Amino acid sequence: MAELRQRRRDRSSAEINSEEEDAKKKDLPEVSKNVGFAAAFAALFITRYFSASSNIVHDCDEVFNYWEPLHFLLYGSGFQTWEYSSEFALRSYLYILIHAVIGAPASYILAKVKVFYLIKLAFALVSAAVDGALVAAVSERFGKRMASYTLVLLCFASGCYTASTTFLPSTFSMYAISLASAAVLADKFEAAVAVAALGVLVGWPFSGLAVLPVVVYSLANGSSVKVFMAGVKSSVVLIALSALCDRLFYGQWKLSILNLVTYNVVGGGDSILYGVEGPLFYLRNGLNNFNLALLLAFGLPVLLLFVRRSTDKHLLLVISPLYLWFGFMSLQPHKEERFLYPTYPLVCVAAAASIERIPGLVPRKMSFVHGLFTKLRPLLLSFILVASYSRTTSLLQGYSAPMQIYKHLPTNPTENSTGKPRICIGSEWHRFPSSFFLPSAKYQVRWLDDGFRGLMPFPFDSSLGGTKAAPDYFNRHNNASPKQFLQSDASCDFVVELVLDRPGVEYRGNNQTKWTVVAKRLFLDNESSPRLHRAFFIPWAWQSKNSFGTYRLLIRNVVE
């Protein structure tokens, strides 16, 4: 009798397990109907094209450390930062050269601003391709439903809109992490390690921490010798190319990758000279860029404790860099939004997994509640999409003036007594969108002293050797140089300024006998606007609740 009861218990347990497995299979989309690469690429490219054509420049580092050196390679003029001095050589010309290959042919036939947007279009293509590969891999491994959610989030999340078409090494590393994640999900371990090396050595060396789980898993699960050699071969080739490019442009043997790591790790904490933020900076920033999707992404590990599947190992592998990277970067005193770009696609994967698994929290036998949880999926996605659209719209409506104002410069300006007409910029130097927006090579940009005390970029000086120069006005301590500002605006032909409602502040354009306003655009006054309303575009309230300044281009009046 005891043996019979045990058999019944075993059979009952087996039946329950079988029912649970059937329920899981029913809850998952059919594996045979996947989201293919072509469909994902097409959807992504449409949204990435929108980003390429309308995205603003969010960071002066993007301008002065990447667009300006590229402009110098293409046109022989541009601004140089101390990181590009041959004395310090912190930036790799290999990364710049890759983009020069795209821009050089176009520079002979297109206007400079069109070359700018052509390169942005190349970013859109690459981003759509690597994220399309990630979506296809997610579909193969986790099912069509989760892949569809991932695709929607990648297309419309404000953070992905911003990061996907920026000219930054962190964006390049983001491309590499998407592609490496797709490769490891497809069990292409050698390719995963090689792509990871590309993102670290051509993109951003510090992203090595983010690709560490992929590399370790690939070594452990692939043919360890082949995987290891794939990493070694790609690393040797990339380091050699980087060293050769640095030798060509800096005029001496340098390894910028090593210099950058050394400066940040053992450089005495000099990076904190460029701003220190609190431990919640990335959380606040992430909520702006991903809203509810960020909370769903961070809640996934807890959700996995209650809704388990056989694919959990691979899911944790793919999303683990998000938590590792977010935690590590939050501990660093110097924080900037672009530092999180490498893991932005993984936020979408993790959030999509949470949305897909939410109904699994309720047993199927509780059909009514389970049905409600199932209907929660489209509601969550809808909220994320609306909030993302609101965030992106606020950015475009509020901060696009610097991208628009320079198109009002005359195409063929009249030269003054000193030669090239001067465009002078004071406190708005950090929003200069790059020399690509100057309609003619006849212009030169100069800085006015409006109170900034850090070290400013200087024009590349061909008389000192151009990229090979080590000018004495550069230093690694962010100490201002007495040579960086014009002493007055007397030699300025044009001035760009932002007028805000600040008591006691004098603006040049208010002197109508000296200056005439050529063009003006509204610009969101971040400091005087409520946090919610400046971060998100809320119809009928965005204009009335926020405060605005006026971004304007001035021209000097001609004196008879």
Q: What one-character-per-residue DSSP string does 308-330 give? A: --TTHHHHHHHHHHHHHHHHHHH
pLDDT at 417: 62
pLDDT higher than threshold 80 for residue 456: yes
Instruction: Give 408: exposed, middle or buried? Use CB within 10 Å, 0-12, 13-18, 19+.
Output: middle
- Comparing 140-149, 232-241, 487-496, which segment has the lowest mean pLDDT? 487-496
Mean pLDDT of 534-553: 95
Q: What is the pLDDT of residues 69-106, one digit of tens each?
A: 999 999 999 999 999 999 999 999 999 999 999 999 99
Q: What is the pLDDT of residues 171-197, one digit of tens each?
A: 999 999 999 999 999 999 999 999 999
Gap between the Cα atoms of 67 and 96, Å rounded: 8
pLDDT at 441: 87
Mean pLDDT of 359-380: 88
Q: What is the pLDDT of residues 301-328, one digit of tens each?
A: 999 999 999 999 999 999 999 999 999 9
371 versus 134: the higher-pLDDT residue is 134
CA distances to 65, 76, 86, 442, 460 from 71, in Å? 11, 7, 18, 14, 10
pLDDT at 560: 40
Where along the chain do its domains lie?
A: 401-556
pLDDT higher than threshold 90 for residue 2: no
pLDDT at 505: 86
- Location of structure tokens 């051509």: 202
pLDDT at 172: 98
pLDDT higher than threshold 60 for residue 472: yes
Q: What is the pLDDT of residues 476-522, one digit of tens each?
A: 988 999 999 998 898 899 999 999 998 888 899 899 999 999 999 99
What DSSP string describes 133-187?
HHHHHHHHHH-HHHHHHHHHHHHH-HHHHHHTT--SHHHHHHHHHHHHHHHHHTT
pLDDT higher than threshold 80 for residue 25: no
* β-sheet bridge partners, residue 555: 494, 516
Q: What is the pLDDT of residues 55-73, one digit of tens each?
A: 999 999 999 999 999 999 9
pLDDT higher than threshold 80 for residue 414: no
Q: How confident is the model at residue 266 (pLDDT cuts 50, 70, 90)?
A: confident
pLDDT at 268: 54
Q: What is the pLDDT of residues 296-306, one digit of tens each?
A: 999 999 999 99
pLDDT at 276: 84
pTM: 0.92
pLDDT higher than threshold 50 for residue 466: yes
148 versus 222: the higher-pLDDT residue is 148
**87 within 8 A of 474, measured Cβ to Cβ:** yes
Q: How confident is the model at residue 420 (pLDDT cuts 50, 70, 90)?
A: confident
pLDDT at 19: 38
Gap between the Cα atoms of 244 and 235, Å rounded: 14
Mean pLDDT over the full length of the chain: 91
pLDDT higher than threshold 60 for residue 154: yes
pLDDT at 344: 98
pLDDT higher than threshold 80 for residue 273: no
Q: How confident is the model at residue 425 (pLDDT cuts 50, 70, 90)?
A: very high
Please give the single-letter amino acid code of residue 214. Answer: V
Of 28-42, 159-173, 468-482, where does the model show the most confidence?
Answer: 159-173
Nearest to 431 by CA among 521, 492, 340: 521
**74 within 8 A of 103, measured Cβ to Cβ:** yes
Q: How confident is the model at residue 9 (pLDDT cuts 50, 70, 90)?
A: very low
Q: What is the CA radius of gyration of the chain?
A: 27
Q: How confident is the model at residue 367 (pLDDT cuts 50, 70, 90)?
A: confident
